[in-house]
Homo-oligomer: A and B are copies of this chain.
């Protein structure tokens, strides 16, 4: 693992690191914010999974999360959204290929050899992080935006007991019924839709739910609402009597201005669970 940069921020440290990944077969870069408390003891960790086109950097510089993480004493991990590099398959569309890993393990040509973001985010990266940094594996929360909200919700529900809390900003909530989902699942996982189901937050909510609190914010003026399908997940949450809140925020769109507006609430939400 190689240190790209370390910058003092809000009394803690914002680092960027690169490592050679077995899961994706290429170098992967991530951002990690450690609050001041990490200098003496392991701290809780909140995962932030980013959306389409993003690298590790977008949320790290635009979400305004470090201020609240420092105030609450939690670390933040910002992984990349896909494998990258000249030897890695890509596509002309912004929503397929590099920058659009969708947090699945691709099985189809030409994506299979590198597009293993599920394994990377749920297995390889956590092992590396808990080995190398002062982070408390017993206290994790997870959040994300758009495609990253999809990732956060599906991962949280797929590993019961790993995360104490999950939240999402404008998640792709029902991808098996959306062009943000059907296109990518067909490309990465093939045409057998039974293989898509474990990667759909609404279907997972109907099937098993999450054993902790959930907070979801969605902008009412989001230009992608028809692709995000919040109504499907909201119904499934209430039908399951899932502990949580689904908020429709008047006037907000899909941008990081929306994310940063409600970041304080989300970090506070996770901190309440992680320091309970």
Contact with B along A219-241 (1 / 0, CB 8 A): 01100010000111111111101
Q: Which of A10-18, A77-85, A242-250 contacts B (4 or more CB under 8 A)?
A: A242-250
If over half of A's interface residues share one DSSP class (helix, strand or loop), that class is named, otherwise mixed; here it is mixed
A55 beta carbon closer than 8 Å to chain B = no
Q: How far is the CB of A270 from chain B (nearest CB, A)?
A: 16
28 residue pairs A–B, Cβ–Cβ below 8 Å: A213-B250, A220-B241, A220-B242, A220-B243, A221-B241, A225-B241, A230-B238, A231-B235, A231-B238, A231-B239, A233-B238, A234-B237, A234-B238, A235-B235, A235-B238, A237-B248, A238-B246, A238-B248, A242-B248, A243-B248, A243-B249, A243-B250, A244-B247, A244-B248, A245-B245, A245-B247, A245-B248, A246-B247
Contact residues in B for A221 (Cβ distance below 8 Å): 241
Contact between chains at A218 and B246 (CB < 8 Å): no
Contact with B along A183-220 (1 / 0, CB 8 A): 00000000000000000000000000000010000101
A residues adjacent to B (C-beta < 8 A): 213, 218, 220-221, 225, 230-239, 241-250
Contact residues in B for A232 (Cβ distance below 8 Å): 235
Q: A220-B241, A232-B235 are in contact. List 4 more A-B contacts (CB 8 A).
A: A230-B238, A235-B235, A243-B250, A245-B246
Contact residues in B for A248 (Cβ distance below 8 Å): 237-238, 241-245
